[in-house]
Chain A
């Protein structure tokens, strides 16, 4: 059967099971939009800015585990998508981004809306392809989804010139794809697994440090089984929250710059560190010279380049997290060594002493709204079962600290790139993937303005997202650093001009509620989550502008050198 390139492209997306294609039309993709118009399987979501298309696809991917799909035009369409592609890249999110390109005959001629999309996106994608010939199109799309979703996942860009989508060719979709240059490792080396188990069982002060890789690799069930069979304490990174149930007694909280005292002290004093699907990011390790000084380290990761990148490890295991954890669990059963329960008991007593510091306590008597309290109320109201997206800054850290996640894929935030503007569009992707489920976007007055145009998209598709705007009139995290390290010179971090958010969201057709006093919070949340269940509600919550995120590991310090309050 002869199809146009545009039809082939849409057909390929169907074959890949793409439910939603987030995009924005333009000259170079008009053929594709025409092909989309003639079918109903792939539902197109029209965003208001291409950055939001990538974040929405990203949110969809993070909350489902399925790859996100994006379609943008050439030139500015592609460059606007760059921030979202980089965001997905830093957090290893599977995504396929189709960028239109000027016709092949014009490439390199500085044509209208031309840019070198392949060159621009090269450092922020797992891989990218330029399709110069229609006969390569279907196979390239297959490869794109294959590369994006296997191994360490990541975004893949496919740049498709307009003449390729206009040409016709015979269509057949490859059932399988093999690439001689790309063969991700799945199973861990059995020798390494045996070594790891002996080390793990020899521990007197163990710590399990797990990251986003456990969520991406669908290894949460295995992590729980592994940790509970050992009885060892577990800490999660910002990206790993939810992989281990936060309300379980073995969970010691998030670690790192704004992690809990018990998690960071536990890291610092442990003798065996079991790192699973985590990459020893600088926000996690603090000063590398002071990191885990007494620990032997086991590191499980699907990406060999993540191992020994910043921290030397004793037993590296390359493989898929779930597969390796299964093998570790099995090997623990086979091993003659056993957990040193008496040493473990002493270790837990020590951890409980650190825990008793209650490092996340905050003033509950204040006459101003404390952001922590607002998040705790959202937690209670949603019974801890909402999908929570966030932007970047203080509110992000508070959400991570005060909304304990018991399930993976519930906490959706830009951890690696730290992209302000991520939260609202990501929530759109999450809500589309999970209709009927509570989706909350925890944001701040500065972040929300970076993609606020998406309120229109939310109305168009009837997305009843609840936006908790923690409005302290500052770029809070910038203000916090300026307070601590720049002698309170609040250079350009004051949001002195803000819109009337209630009027703004109402003009977009949504419900806006301003909350200024702690005693009004309950009623406002009830209105958002119960009375206006089916509508987008924007809660503009005026919070205490002096509140800071604690505890904190200052830059250059070790994890044991936290500032508590």
Chain B
């Protein structure tokens, strides 16, 4: 099963490589990983999407917690949460497909953020599944480039991952 792990850690150089190194050294899966400083510049917030059996995920959480730079973490998938991912996608937009892409972008509530005579660049934000669905809907369109941010997540309600 897929798990979204949100990690609050010291914003130190090398902190990211400690997490990445842990996953490769112990043979865990990383599906995506995003990281950036928070409003407190001494802290980084990382969202990591991984998968594995319950035993493996339990070990992943413990091993992450053991890293000296990690302050707190939460497995968001254990309780209600919001997941968002951003995708930038450059597609061919000529002839009939130009209108078709526009329609699809509207249906998926994306934005066309750059236009040339032959291409559209589309921005789409949402849960990973919605981005997947959008990509599938473009099956007859020629895709030039796809950039995905990887998932970010936050708990629903008043629950906070903070100091």
Cα-based distance from A29 to B18 in the complex (angstroms): 26
- Which residues from chain A contact B58 at a C-beta distance below 8 Å? 308
Interface residues in B49-74 (C-beta closer than 8 Å to A): 55, 58-59, 62-63, 65-66, 68-71
Cα-based distance from A126 to B66 in the complex (angstroms): 9
Cα-based distance from A130 to B163 in the complex (angstroms): 25
- Which residues from chain B contact A118 at a C-beta distance below 8 Å? 14
Given contacts A122-B18, A123-B21, A126-B68, contact A308 B10 (CB under 8 A): no
Q: Which of A39-47, A176-184, A493-501 contacts B (4 or more CB under 8 A)?
A: A176-184
- In the assembled complex, the CB of A59 is this many whole angstroms from the nearest CB of chain B, namely 25
- Which residues from chain A contact B63 at a C-beta distance below 8 Å? 305
How many residues of chain A get a CB closer than 8 Å to chain B's CBs?
A: 17
**B21, A182: Cβ atoms under 8 Å?**
no
- Which residues from chain B contact A303 at a C-beta distance below 8 Å? 66
- In the assembled complex, the CB of A299 is this many whole angstroms from the nearest CB of chain B, namely 13
**A182, B68: Cβ atoms under 8 Å?**
yes
Cα-based distance from A309 to B61 in the complex (angstroms): 12
Cα-based distance from A157 to B17 in the complex (angstroms): 16
Asked if A304 lies at the interface with its beta carbon under 8 angstroms from chain B, I say yes
Cα-based distance from A304 to B70 in the complex (angstroms): 15
- In the assembled complex, the CB of B24 is this many whole angstroms from the nearest CB of chain A, namely 9
**A147, B68: Cβ atoms under 8 Å?**
yes
> Would you give the 0/1 interface string for A117-138, flagging 1 where the beta carbon is closer than 8 Å to chain B?
0110011001100100000000
Q: Using CB atoms, name the residue of chain B closest to A183.
A: B71
**B71, A122: Cβ atoms under 8 Å?**
no
Asked if B118 lies at the interface with its beta carbon under 8 angstroms from chain A, I say no
Q: Using CB atoms, name the residue of chain B closest to A309.
A: B59
**B10, A181: Cβ atoms under 8 Å?**
yes
**A308, B68: Cβ atoms under 8 Å?**
no
- In the assembled complex, the CB of A317 is this many whole angstroms from the nearest CB of chain B, namely 15
- Which residues from chain A contact B55 at a C-beta distance below 8 Å? 308
> Would you give the 0/1 interface string for A304-334, flagging 1 where the beta carbon is closer than 8 Å to chain B?
1100110000000000000000000000000
- Which residues from chain A contact B21 at a C-beta distance below 8 Å? 122-123
- In the assembled complex, the CB of B54 is this many whole angstroms from the nearest CB of chain A, namely 11
- In the assembled complex, the CB of A310 is this many whole angstroms from the nearest CB of chain B, namely 10
- Which residues from chain B contact A309 at a C-beta distance below 8 Å? 59
Asked if B13 lies at the interface with its beta carbon under 8 angstroms from chain A, I say yes
- In the assembled complex, the CB of A69 is this many whole angstroms from the nearest CB of chain B, namely 19
Given contacts A122-B21, A309-B59, contact A304 B68 (CB under 8 A): no
Asked if B25 lies at the interface with its beta carbon under 8 angstroms from chain A, I say yes
Asked if B9 lies at the interface with its beta carbon under 8 angstroms from chain A, I say yes
**B59, A119: Cβ atoms under 8 Å?**
no
**B71, A181: Cβ atoms under 8 Å?**
yes
- In the assembled complex, the CB of A417 is this many whole angstroms from the nearest CB of chain B, namely 14
**B66, A181: Cβ atoms under 8 Å?**
no
Interface residues in B1-49 (C-beta closer than 8 Å to A): 9-10, 13-14, 17-18, 21, 25
Given contacts A119-B17, A130-B13, A130-B14, contact A305 B71 (CB under 8 A): no
Q: Using CB atoms, name the residue of chain A closest to B70.
A: A181
- Which residues from chain B contact A181 at a C-beta distance below 8 Å? 9-10, 68-71
- In the assembled complex, the CB of B145 is this many whole angstroms from the nearest CB of chain A, namely 31
Most A CB within 10 A of own CB, among B10, B65, B68, B71: B68
Q: Using CB atoms, name the residue of chain B closest to A179.
A: B68
Partner of A305, one of B17, B59, B69: B59
Cα-based distance from A127 to B21 in the complex (angstroms): 13
13 residue pairs from A and B, CB less than 8 Å apart: A119-B17, A122-B14, A122-B17, A122-B18, A123-B25, A127-B68, A130-B14, A181-B9, A181-B10, A181-B68, A181-B70, A304-B66, A305-B66
Which 9 residue pairs of A and B lie closest in terms of their CB atoms, listed nearest first?
A305-B62, A127-B68, A181-B71, A123-B25, A182-B68, A305-B66, A304-B62, A305-B63, A122-B21
